[in-house]
Amino acid sequence: MPETKEIFLGMDIGSATVKVAGVDGAGDILGTPVYVRHDQYASQLEAARAALTRYLGQFDRARVVGSGVTGSGRELFAHLLGGALARTEIFAHATGVGYILRRGMVRDRSGEVLSRAGTVIEIGGQDAKVIVFDDEGMPVYFNMNSICAAGTGEFLVQLAQECQISVEDIGPLVAQSSSPAYVDATCTVFARRAFRHLTQRGVPLEDRLAGVCDALVKNYVQNVLRGHPVVPPVIFQGGVAANEGVRQAFERALGMPVFAPPFHSVLGAIGMAVIARDTGTGLGDTAGSGWPEDFLRGSVSSRIRYCRGCQNSCEVTEAVSGAGDDLRVIDVFGGRCEGAKKPGHLSDEPPARQMPYVVVRPKTPVPPARSRPRRLARSEYFAGIDCGSRGTKYALIQSTGHGYEVVAVGTVPTAGNALDAIGAAAAGLQQALPERARWGAIGVTGSAGELAYHMLSRPAPENADCFVSEIIAHYRFARDIVPDVGTVIDIGGNDSKIITTGGHGISFAMNDKCAAGSGAFLEAVAARFHVDIEDYGRVAMQSRVPARIAGRCAVFGETDVVHKARQGFPVPDLLLGVAYAVCRTYLTDTAKGQNIRLPVVAQGGAFLNTALQEAFRTALGLGPDEFFVADDPRLVVGAGALGAALVARERWETGWSSRFWGFDHAARAHFETRTLVCRHPRCGRQCPGVIALLSDGEPVAGYKSVDCPLGFFDGVITSSEEASHVASLLGQTAYKRA
């Protein structure tokens, strides 16, 4: 019969991951530690069960004789696991580091064994911390990040998903970078916006990712270290320590070696296993009873209740065992006061929800009819491209005199490369355009619209091709389908905007710093629960009551979703709650100070989500005729591209001609962008981050992030002086105008 392994078990229940490790009575690590992400399972509870099952499944016979839990979920799971020890993450990680150092597992670059740690840097999924030790190995300083995730692994995971790569690919890609881009490190939202802006400018992926690693480290230094001296040697642990790009960024920022030791991702769990062994406790009343079989069988779990003791109506979590008449409450967590622990105050039903009140103004007058064109487009084709940060949309229409038909609308993922996305959109338009079609003109809009304009058309006076603002493009199409439109609400992947009409034209506002009121928030939460974004509405509308999700910030919101999932909220309630949170954020931030005039036209891919439609109609108290969403999904997603095509048609009808290069040129030419540092002897300044657009190796346009006294890098290259200067920066000896 196989020998029974007596295991001292340690678990680290984090906000994004579960780690399990064990040691024997001699302190040797048993088996292989287990590391799983919550988003691979329906809930944190299921993730913990899966991690335990996987770990204990390595042994033919095993008996847990002691246990300890750390991490953000330690209090609940200490009860669910039958009286396990609960210790803070600082204590657990310090113990884990001390364990591997005493065992000689960490070596410096010369191969010498490190006997002590001066500073421990720990970065996990949503948490980051620092521990500084004195000469005797005692912690003398520690600190953790705030609720912001900009200095954590979740930020890297989200960017990897956006770029359609695995998070493990980031390190090797960063190693290829020759010129790391600058990325704002203030917070997750700012960093993501900076990353997407660089995407639209065509900055290579490896340079953007290198900039992200530098930004993550800068955020950590500012918000976790907070000016405290870093004592060498520096040990880097947590899941992010596997990223070589981040480790090297720390070395650059700190000016000293940084070591990622063995077991760096599970040191908190190892630390708790060692603590359980050293104290000889951690099983409570279950010692010798076959723990953790009850937990693994699912006879212990958690449920959500609602406190009716006061107007706060707090949500609380009950740790329970058994079921039906045998249900026993082990403990109660959450709530702002002790009243939440009184059974008489708790109910299964949530309090009634009050939605924010928004002023709704009377209908606006129907706008005047268009003036008579100089020439009427009768059968010409007009195209539009909307270059968004997440998706690039294209549309093709054919005029029918005073009307038009929508021939094609398509979307290609921007996927971190605006140049390729624009080329793919042009290819989609070419495929949809019939042979021997009468060409009209093309309009472009969106965050990379200027780039697209210079790739597809020759800028010139009276050019029917145009680069038009997103506000004009979206309003132009909304007015076409609802002539008396009063308000346009557009919510896309990363941006949201409101356009309202009045007696003095139109006014507008856009979100400027947060993704909480955009479709990216919906997508991130859907991905966390493995729900296809196309199924989001269907799943969310199964909700009995939407969960109350913090929506003032995307970071706060995702953290709140994780917290409530850990408490046991059903997935439909969480999804519908997020839709309401996006609605509230939009109405209180993007639409702040704007009068909502009827009728409202909703545009943007987020409004394909029926849960978001439901949230807005409920919040505003509007019916389908007052809050209009087109039945044809193409008209919802492609509104910006269709509006740009309509603007191009109007310019063509004034008598102007298209300067479109042609689809063959768009497909044949090789476009690329180069990030440069501009130094001009006549200027005397040094400007990093200017960008040159090259066609077949020759510069055709430039873009800058600062004002240039010489007028350089301000669009298409028109002067020989600028052409020669850009060529010299590129290291070229000759320049031929395209």
21 versus 334: which is more confidently predicted?
21
232 contacts 257 by C-beta, under 8 angstroms:
yes
The model's confidence at residue 736, banded by pLDDT at 50, 70 and 90, is: very low
Residue 361 has pLDDT above 90, yes or no: no
Give the whole-angstrom CA distance, residue 695 versus residue 707.
25
**Assigned token pair, 671:** 């476009």
Residue 311's contacts (CB-CB under 8 Å, 6 or more residues apart) are none
pLDDT at 517: 64
Give the whole-angstrom CA distance, residue 622 versus residue 590.
19
**Would you say the C-alpha torsion 286, 287, 289, 290 has a positive or negative sign?**
positive
720 versus 315: which is more confidently predicted?
720
* Radius of gyration over every alpha carbon of the chain, rounded to an integer in angstroms: 29
**Assigned token pair, 218:** 């800068």
88 contacts 94 by C-beta, under 8 angstroms:
no
Mean pLDDT lowest among 107-121, 290-304, 603-617, 691-705: 290-304
Give the whole-angstrom CA distance, residue 619 versus residue 576.
13
716 contacts 700 by C-beta, under 8 angstroms:
yes
429 contacts 396 by C-beta, under 8 angstroms:
yes
The model's confidence at residue 636, banded by pLDDT at 50, 70 and 90, is: very high
The model's confidence at residue 509, banded by pLDDT at 50, 70 and 90, is: confident
Give the whole-angstrom CA distance, residue 343 versus residue 599.
48
Question: DSSP state, 238?
Answer: S
Give the whole-angstrom CA distance, residue 679 versus residue 688.
9
Q: What is the mean pLDDT of residues 490-501?
A: 86
Tell me the percentage of the chain whose pLDDT exceeds 90.
37
Q: Give the end-to-end CA distance of the chain in Å, rounded to a whole number.
A: 81
pLDDT at 540: 93
605 contacts 391 by C-beta, under 8 angstroms:
yes
pLDDT 10s digits, 54-102 = 999 999 888 888 889 998 778 777 777 766 788 988 889 999 999 999 9
Give the whole-angstrom CA distance, residue 691 versus residue 473.
26
Burial of 495 (0-12, 13-18, 19+ CB in 10 A): buried
pLDDT 10s digits, 301-338 = 677 777 877 655 677 777 777 777 777 776 676 665 66
603 contacts 639 by C-beta, under 8 angstroms:
yes
Give the whole-angstrom CA distance, residue 169 versus residue 708.
37
pLDDT at 560: 74
CB atoms within 10 A of CB 220: 25
Residue 357 has pLDDT above 50, yes or no: no
pLDDT at 355: 46
pLDDT 10s digits, 684-707 = 788 877 888 888 888 888 887 667
- The SS3 call for residue 239 is helix
From residue 710, give the alpha-carbon distance in Å to each of 619, 668, 728. Answer: 51, 33, 16
Burial of 276 (0-12, 13-18, 19+ CB in 10 A): buried
Give the whole-angstrom CA distance, residue 526 versus residue 535.
9
pLDDT at 445: 95
pLDDT at 189: 59
Parallel, antiparallel or unpaired: strands 85-86 and 62-70:
parallel
pLDDT at 359: 53
Residue 295's contacts (CB-CB under 8 Å, 6 or more residues apart) are 49, 52, 80, 81, 82
pLDDT 10s digits, 214-225 = 988 988 998 899
Q: What is the mean pLDDT of residues 156-182?
A: 84
**Assigned token pair, 314:** 């707090």
The model's confidence at residue 286, banded by pLDDT at 50, 70 and 90, is: very low
pLDDT at 335: 63
Instruction: Give CB contacts under 8 A, 24+ apart, made by 107-112.
Output: 108/233, 108/257, 108/259, 109/257
The model's confidence at residue 285, banded by pLDDT at 50, 70 and 90, is: very low
**Assigned token pair, 681:** 């002897």
pLDDT at 478: 96
Phi, psi (deg, nearest 5) at residue 594: -100, 135
Give the whole-angstrom CA distance, residue 293 versus residue 676.
61
Buried/exposed 50-75: b ≥16 CB within 10 Å, e otherwise: bbbeebbeebeebebbbbbbbbbbbb
pLDDT at 438: 94
**Assigned token pair, 370:** 């268009």
pTM: 0.62
pLDDT at 734: 40
Closest CA to 147 of 589, 553, 577, 585: 553
CB atoms within 10 A of CB 230: 18
